[in-house]
């Protein structure tokens, strides 16, 4: 079974469970009220109108709401209207009850469908904006390291008698620029992995501590001088995620401190479980983020300051834009803010569960 057929089946199962659960609850409530009243249950009709409204709201399309309308009228007529456990279609007001339930289901289903369409359009607009920002940032940022690699390699090729100290320095610069280009490529590949309209993240339950440890190990290979301390709870945390992407988010945030947090000497990662999600916070003790930059820090391109610089890697936008997109694709949110005691923090949260469509809830 392909992914689209699997998602369709899961959606049908979810809608059926919602329908059955809501109607079972409405029936139980009305049954309990019937024990209080010996004659017709006065609460049955409004209770099943509420059930129809809930079914229409939490299922997809119009079909389940219409079925709920018909089922609600039949339940009221058969179970909670005298003579009980018999159908009596001649009862006064019966057509009106059916019409009200049907109208409620159609109105709510229409509103829900429109809201979902608006959300989809908003998501597509944001994805298009992210791709445009990414291309703009890549075209700007990739030129300087490529020019540096070409210049350094040409100097080595054209001057075989370069002193060993100068040769090693040029090789270090080539290696540094090459590693930065690798990270840039990883960011671009991450965006293309989930930016398509028909692509869903493949999430599995992962141990948070293992993802964090792997990210720190990879970060320390390039920046061994920057210490990273972790504050986490004692219990093991299992969260559905794409492990590679979340690991990349953490590495990007760590590297952002090294590249842009002036005077920072340490990084602190705090992990805090909540009732429905896990919060991650990466903090530093640097100079903080300029106030004017905070509102647009995830937009995809901006320089760390207004001064011209020969090092285009001073641009922090692309990495943070990718981080934000990855977290949003997981159903979470990301925030940036300055700490009262100094330095800056980037926090994001991931939900413990995901819905039947494979997106986090």
pLDDT digits (tens, 9 = 90+) for 230-275: 999 989 999 999 888 899 899 989 988 998 888 899 999 999 998 8
Angle at 100 between CA 94 and CA 103, to 5 degrees: 140
Cis peptide before 83 (omega within 30 of 0): yes
Which of 91 and 222 is assigned the larger pLDDT?
222
Using alpha carbons, list the distances in angstroms from residue 262 to 253, 266, 284, 289. Answer: 14, 11, 10, 10
Backbone angles phi, psi at 77, to 5 degrees: -70, -40
**The residue count for the chain:** 361
CA–CA separation, 243 vs 317, rounded Å?
23
| pLDDT tens readout for residues 55-100 | 888 887 778 888 888 888 788 878 877 777 877 766 666 677 767 7
| pLDDT tens readout for residues 285-330 | 999 998 888 888 887 654 444 444 444 444 445 678 888 888 988 8
Which three-class secondary structure state does DSSP give residue 36? Answer: coil
Tell me, what DSSP letter sits at residue 199?
-
Which of 196 and 240 is assigned the larger pLDDT?
240
pLDDT of 357 > 50? The answer is no
First to last CA, the chain: 24
């Amino acid at each position: 079974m392909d992914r689209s057929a699997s998602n369709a089946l899961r959606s049908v199962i979810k809608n059926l469970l919602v329908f059955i659960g809501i109607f079972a609850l409405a029936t139980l409530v009305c049954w309990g009220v019937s024990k209080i009243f010996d004659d017709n249950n006065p609460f049955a009709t409004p209770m099943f109108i509420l059930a129809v409204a809930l079914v229409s709201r939490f299922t997809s399309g119009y079909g389940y709401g219409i079925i709920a309308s018909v089922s609600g009228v039949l339940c009221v007529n058969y179970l909670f209207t005298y003579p009980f456990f018999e159908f009596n279609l001649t009862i006064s007001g019966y057509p009106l009850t059916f019409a009200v339930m049907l109208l409620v289901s159609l109105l709510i289903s229409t509103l829900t469908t429109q809201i979902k369409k608006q959300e989809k359009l908003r998501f597509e607009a944001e994805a298009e904006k992210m791709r445009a920002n990414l291309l703009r940032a890549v075209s700007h940022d990739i030129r300087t390291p490529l020019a540096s690699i070409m210049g350094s390699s040409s100097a080595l090729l054209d001057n075989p008698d370069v002193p060993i100290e100068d040769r090693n320095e040029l090789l270090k610069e080539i290696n540094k620029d090459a590693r930065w280009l690798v990270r840039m490529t990883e960011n671009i590949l991450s965006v293309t992995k989930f930016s398509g309209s028909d692509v869903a993240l493949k999430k599995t339950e992962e141990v948070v501590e293992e993802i964090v440890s792997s990210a720190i190990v990879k970060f320390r290979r390039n920046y061994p001088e920057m210490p990273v301390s972790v504050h986490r709870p004692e219990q093991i945390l299992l969260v559905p995620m794409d492990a590679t992407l979340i690991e990349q988010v953490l590495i990007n945030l760590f590297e952002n401190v090294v590249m842009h947090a002036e005077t920072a000497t340490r990084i602190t990662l705090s992990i805090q479980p909540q009732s429905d999600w896990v919060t991650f916070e990466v903090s530093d003790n640097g100079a903080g983020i300029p106030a004017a930059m905070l509102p647009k820090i995830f937009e995809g391109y901006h320089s760390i300051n207004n001064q011209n610089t020969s090092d285009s890697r001073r641009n922090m936008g692309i990495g943070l834009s990718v981080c934000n997109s990855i977290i949003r694709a997981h159903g979470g949110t990301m925030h940036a803010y300055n700490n009262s005691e100094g330095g800056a923090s980037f926090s994001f949260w991931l939900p413990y569960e995901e819905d039947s469509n494979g997106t986090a809830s």
